[in-house]
Structure 1
Amino acid sequence: MEIGGWADEGFGGVADVFRENFEVFGELGTAVSVRVGGRPVVELWGGVADERSGRLWDQETVVPVFSCAKGLVSICAHLLAQQGRLDLDAPVAAYWPEFAAEGKERITTRMVLGHRAGVPVLDRTVSFGEITEWTPVVRAIEEQRPLWEPGEAYEYHGHVFGFLVGEVVRRITGLTPGRFFREAIGEPLGLRAWIGLPAGERGQLARLVEAEGRPAGDPRSLLMRIVTMNGALVFPG
C-alpha cells in the first residue's frame, strides 16, 4: 500500500496507525490532517478514492463530510450574529414567520444550534428529489410540531439542523447557506469546502462504500428516523 504525504518527527506513530488502518481493518481509501497549535504536523493520504474506476486517493481528493457540515452552517449563523444581523436569542420566526406554526413560536436559533428545539426529525417523509429542492423540506419543517417543549430537552437534530439554520441564513441574506458560506468564508479564506459540490470538483470526489456488517436498526426508532430523515435516505447505504 503506497502512502502519500508526510509526518513531522515525533508524529511517526500517526503514520503507523494510518497504514495499519489499511493492513488490518481493510480501509479502502482515506486521508488525515493534524495540526498542533495551528502548525501542520501530519498530512497523509492513501488507497482508492473511487473503487469503480480505481482512481487513487491524492492530496486534492474531495471527501463528503456528513455531519461536519453542521459546523459550516453554524459558523455562518455565528458570523451573522457577530455582524449584528442575527440575534441568537430572538425567535426563529422573527426572521422566518411561517416557522412559528404548530407551537414553534418560542424556538430560538440558539436552541436549534444546541439541538434543544424539539424538531429533530420530520413527521412527513420527503423524497430525495424534494430534499435537493430545499423548499419542500422547509415547508415540512413549518408544518412540524415539536416533540417536546422547546429548550427543555436535547436530541440530535440530524438532517433538520442544516435546513432549519440554513433557512434562517437564507431569510437574512437572500442566499442559500452554501452560497453564503462560499462568499463570506470559503472564498476569502481559500477553503476547498462547500455545501453543494461544484461540478468542476466532481472528478476529485471520493466515492464512499458502505462497510460490511453494519446493522440496519429499527426503522421505527427515533434514532433511525433521524438518520434516514424519516425514511427518505437509505441506511446502511
Structure 2
Amino acid sequence: MNAHPKITLVGAGPGDTDLISLKGLKALAKANVVLYDALVNEELLGYAPEDALRVFVGKRANKHAYSQQEINELMVSYARSHGHVVRLKGGDPFVFGRGGEELEYAASHHIATSVVPGISSSIALAGLQGIPLTYRGVSESFWVITGATTAGVISDDIYAAAKTSATVVILMGLNKLAEIVRVYEAEGRHKLPIAVIQNGSLPDEKIALGTIDTIVERAGVQGIGAPAVIVIGEVVAKHESFGAWKHKNIAV
C-alpha cells in the first residue's frame, strides 16, 4: 500500500482550458493518476506529469466507461497503489458532478481528500454570452436544475421554477426541451426569452435564442446538440443579438 494515498477532486471548468483554476493546475502537476470525465478538455491532461496514469472514466454516446461504483473503487484502489489521484471533472465537482458521493466513498475508506472548485457551466456559459443570471429589477435569483431525474423523467423542480420570476438554468436537459417548453406554456409564459447553448466556451460553441413558443424550432434550425445548457428568463433578452432576432427574425 502506498504510504500517502490522497484523492483531490478538481473542477476543470466548462471546457476552455483557460477556465481551470491555478490551484487545479497545481494539483494536476502533482498527480500520480488522473481519472477524467468526458466533458473534460483533454488538453488539460498535458499538465499532469509525463509518467502519470491517465484513465478515462466518462460517458460518451450514452455509454459509460465505468459505473459510478466502479469509479469510486478505482479512486481508492489507485490512491492506495499509486498515491495522489486527481479526479478531474467537468465544471464543478459538486454541481451535478457526483463529487459528494465520491468524497463520501473516499472518506469511508479513510483516504485523505481535498477539493478544488471549478467554474460551473451553470453560471459561466450564460455570462460568456453576456446574459446576466441576475439583474436589478428583472431577476432576483436563479435556479440550477437537472433536466431529468435518475428515473429519466422531468424534474418536479422545473414545474415549481416555471411559476417564479427567477432565471432558470437547466443542465442535461436538451432531450427534454419540448417537455420543458410545455411546462412553461402551461403557465402562460409563451413569450418568455430562452437560450440554448451548446459547447459553451469552446471554439465550436453554438447558441439558439428564442422564446418559449419558438425555441424548439430555433434549436433545430441551429443544429443544437448535446452537451447544452438551457437558460430561461427575462435576462436572456439582455443578449446582444436577442433584439435583432426578435424584431427582424434573423439567425444568430
TM-score scaled by length of structure 2? 0.25
TM-score scaled by length of structure 1? 0.26
Structure with a larger share of its residues in helix = 1
